[in-house]
Amino acid sequence: MSADASQYEKITEGEFAGWLRAPESDTFNGLVGPYYYQSDDPANVKVAFKAEKRHLNGGGTVHGGCLLTLADTSLFVFALPHLADGGAVTLQLDSQFLSPGREGDIIVATGEITRVGKSVIFGRGQLTCGDRILLSYSGIMSRLAAKPSGDA
């Protein structure tokens, strides 16, 4: 999710009614998504997706890498209010797998930014499905300088 919510489609029907969906993309997030976003407050955003067969591992549960991708993506979304015109990259992502996700699950990331420094941002969160916690995570992100505008 970028800071410009105008590029997102508001969903009006189904299990994600009221949420925003990112436009289709040929990036990695487009490959694993679509991701949905919900927030009345930029400092309190939820990020979610519906687990499909393509998200499963050989054991029939949501692949751990898929859950980690959502955790990593959500940390960036939580940090958006602190990034101004720059971006960020993940320096460290720690996780604890607590319960498996299954096909058809709506998996929701919630979390918070716990500390904002000059060059790094710290955050933590959980992935849940209903009242089940699937993954607990924390991460550290490094700020990137804003991209120069015009000719450089």
Q: SS3 for 32?
A: helix
Rounded distance between C-alpha atoms, residue 34 and residue 25, angstroms: 9
Spell out the per-residue pLDDT of the chain, length 152, in tens.
444 556 788 888 989 998 888 877 777 777 777 899 998 776 788 999 999 999 999 999 999 999 999 999 999 999 999 988 778 999 999 999 999 999 999 999 999 999 999 999 999 999 999 999 999 999 999 998 776 665 54
3-state secondary structure 14-31: CCCCCCEECCCCCCHHHH
Residue 34 domain-assigned (yes or no): no
Structural domains counted in the chain: 1
Distance from the Cα of residue 7 to its chain's centroid: 17
Residue 67 domain-assigned (yes or no): yes
Distance from the Cα of residue 33 to its chain's centroid: 10
Residue 150 domain-assigned (yes or no): no
pTM: 0.87
Q: Which domain holds residue 135?
A: 40-143
Residue 30 domain-assigned (yes or no): no
Backbone angles phi, psi at 80, to 5 degrees: -50, -45
- What residue type is 76 in one-letter code? F
The CATH number of the domain where 71 resides is what? Answer: 3.10.129.10
